[in-house]
Chain A
C-alpha cells in the first residue's frame, strides 16, 4: 500500500456521547480535510472514547485541523503524536489463496510475521497479523503473489511512548476554544 508522506497522527479524546463520531467525521468532510484512517474505542474511563485519526497534512494545515477539532464541544483534548514518539499498532485480516501446493509456504510466511491462522479452507486460508503499519505493508507485499482474496485493516491506534528521560513527547494543542 502506498503510504503518503505527510500524514499526522492525532489522538482525540472525546466525550462518549451520542453522535460524536458524526461530529468529528462531519467536520473533516465539510472543511475538506482528508482522513487516511480512523479508529474509535472506549478508554479506561467510560465517560470518554479515544479516536486515533491519521490525517493528510497536505489537505489543510495540521494546526487548523486541531483547532477546528477543539471547537467541537464533546472534544476534550487533541494531541498530535509524532510517529517517532508513539507506539502504534494496526491489525489486519487477510484471506489468501493457499491450495495444498502452496499452503506450507503461506504458513511459513505467517510464522515469520507472527501471524495467526484463523481459518483454513480447501483453497485458501485467513491470517491475522498485528504490527506496525510498515510490517503490515511488508506482509501484504509478500502475500500478494499467492493471491489475496480479501483484506481488511483496522487503521492504526497509537499511544505516546513512555518517557524514560525528560522529553517533549506530547504536543498538546492548548487554548481550548469557544
Chain B
C-alpha cells in the first residue's frame, strides 16, 4: 500500500491507539492536517500551542495514556517548549509532533524555521527529525515506546513538510530497535531482601512516596505494603492521591508547605523508604540537615535518581509496582523469621503531632473570604472522585493541603517546573480523557490570565470544565515572600481584583460565570456550578490577600525549622 508521509503519520498514530490529540495547524504541518479529516482521531483545536501541550499533559495525568499534541514549525514549536519542559520535570508521557520547513530548506533561516530538535533536546526524553517518509512508522513506534516505558517523559517528532508529501510503502513494525534503551523494571532480589530486613529493624520508619507510584500504577500495591507493615505514608505534591488521605496511616504532604507531622516525621525517622520520589529541594529543605538519622531505601526506575541527592543504603532500580510487589513478599518472609520491633511509641508520637499541629485557618462569618474555606466547600460539595487541576502558587498549596485526595489520578498539577497557567488547559485535557468525571481547576488570578483563552476551546468543543479562581488580586506567593523575606516591600505583585472583569471575560468565552464575595454565597454558588454540565463554568472568588500559606519552611532552611504561622500561639520556629 502506497501512502503519503502525512497519511502514514496519521495511520501510525491510529495504530498506536491515539483517540484524541490537541493541536493547531499552520504552514509546515498543513499536509498532515488533510488526512486528519478522514481519521478516527478526535482533534481539539486550541487557541495557543502552549494550551495544546498542557491539555495533552492533563489528559496523560488523568488517563495514564500518552498525551498527543501536534503543532506547526517555528513559533508554534517554541510555544510548546514550556509544556515539554513541564512534562520532562514531572515525567509525563507526551508525544509532540511539530511541523518543520522542507528538509532541503533546513538551516537556511527559512520562514517559520527554528531548530526544534536542538531547542527541545534538553527537555525531552528523546526527539527525532524525520528525514524520509519510509522512517515514519518506525519513528512513531519508537516515540510512543520511549515516552511510555521506563521513567515516562515527553518526546518530540519533527516532521519536515516535504516528508509529508513523499510517497512510502506502508508497513507497521513488529518491535522497536533501540540498542541503547532497555529500561530495567525488575528490582534486584538481594536488594529487595535487604530492604525488607532494614524495614524490620526500624523503629521510626516512613514511606516517602512520590509521583513514580502513580506513573507505575502502584497505588494498590503501595496500600498493601503500608497496611501489611503499619508504616505511615507521606505523599509528595506529585503523589497526592497515591495513598488515600482518609487512611489512618496517611500523614499527607511533606515539604516546604507540607503539614507539620509529615515534615517532622521524615525529619525524625530512622528509615525513609523512598518510592518513586526524588529528594526534591522542596521536600528536603536544606539537604545537609534533612532526615539526619534516617537510613534510606530508594526505589526508582531511573538509576540516575539513586544517589543524585542522598546516597541510599539500599538502592533498588526498578518499576515501583514490580518492586513493591516483591517487597511485600520479602516482608512476609522476613516476618516469619523474626518479630519486627514495636513501633507504638512512634505511632503515638505521630498522633500527638497530628493533634497538636493540624492545618489551621480562621474564616469569620462577616470577615473577608478565605481561599482555604472556598477549597473546603468545593471539596465537600463536589463528587468524591472529582479531578482537581491547579496552577502554581498559593492556591496550589492550599488545594494540595485542604482537598482530601482519596483516589489516585485525581490531582493534576505542575510540580517540578512550576508552570503558572497550567490549570485551565490541564483541566480541559483531563475532562477530555475522563468525560464522566467532574473536573475542577483551582486557579489563581495571576495563573488564570496566562492561559484563560483556552476556555474558548472548551466552549467550542463542549468540554464542561469548572474553574475556581481564587482571586486575591495579587501574585500571592510572591507577595507572601516579599512580606516575609523582603521587609514588606511589595515589588510588582499587585494585579487588581476587577481588571480584567473575570465574569464578563468568562461569559465572552462562552462560559457561565459567577462572582462570590461572601462566605454565605460560597456553597450555593458551587452547587449551581456543579449542576451545569453543558458548558464551562467560572467562579470568581474574591479572597483575602492577607492570607499566607502555612506551615512553611523558608527556602534554604532546615526542615527542623517549621514556621506554623499566626494560627498557633508561638509563631516562629518550633523545635
Contacts and interface: CB of A to CB of B under 8 A. Distances in A.
Nearest to A63: B307
A73 B176 CA distance: 13
A84 interface: no
A71 interface: yes
A73 B146 contact: yes
B121 A73 contact: no
B304 A67 contact: yes
**Which of A67, A70, A73, A74 has most chain B Cβ within 10 Å?**
A73
Contacts of B317: 175, 177
Contacts of B179: 15, 76
A19 B121 contact: yes
A69 to B, nearest CB: 9
Contact of B303 (A18, A30, A67): A67
Contacts, number: 63
B187 to A, nearest CB: 11
Interface in B22-65: none
A167 interface: no
Contacts of A40: none
B548 to A, nearest CB: 34
A19 B180 contact: no
Nearest to B181: A73
Nearest to B178: A73
B355 interface: no
B178 A19 contact: no
A177 B307 contact: no
A22 B118 contact: yes
Among B151, B179, B182, B307, find the residue whose CB has the most chain A CB atoms closer than 10 A. Answer: B179
Contacts of B117: 19
A121 interface: no
Q: Which of B150, B151, B180 has the most CB of A within 10 A?
A: B180
A51 interface: no
B150 A177 contact: yes
B200 interface: no
Given A64-B304, A73-B178, A176 B146 contact: no
Contacts of B183: 176-178
Q: How large is the interface on B (under 10, 10 to 19, 20 to 34, 35 or more residues)?
A: 20 to 34
A64 B302 CA distance: 12
Contacts of A22: 118, 121
Nearest to B146: A73
- A interface bracket (residues with beta carbon within 8 Å of B): 20 to 34
B122 A71 contact: no
A23 interface: yes
A30 B122 contact: yes
A27 B122 CA distance: 7
B240 interface: no
Nearest to B319: A178
Contacts of A72: 126, 180
B121 A75 contact: no
A70 to B, nearest CB: 7
Interface of B: 117-118, 121-122, 125-126, 129, 131, 146, 149-151, 178-184, 301-304, 307-308, 317
Interface of A: 14-15, 18-19, 22-23, 26-27, 30, 61, 63-64, 67-68, 70-77, 175-178
- 7 shortest A-B CB distances, which residue pairs? A178-B150, A67-B304, A178-B151, A178-B183, A76-B180, A73-B126, A175-B303
21 contacts: A15-B180, A22-B121, A26-B122, A64-B304, A64-B307, A67-B303, A67-B304, A70-B303, A71-B304, A72-B180, A73-B178, A73-B180, A77-B180, A175-B303, A176-B180, A176-B184, A177-B183, A177-B184, A177-B303, A178-B149, A178-B302
Given A64-B304, A177-B151, 17 more contacts: A14-B180, A19-B118, A19-B121, A30-B122, A64-B308, A70-B304, A71-B304, A73-B126, A73-B178, A73-B180, A176-B182, A176-B183, A177-B183, A177-B303, A177-B317, A178-B149, A178-B302
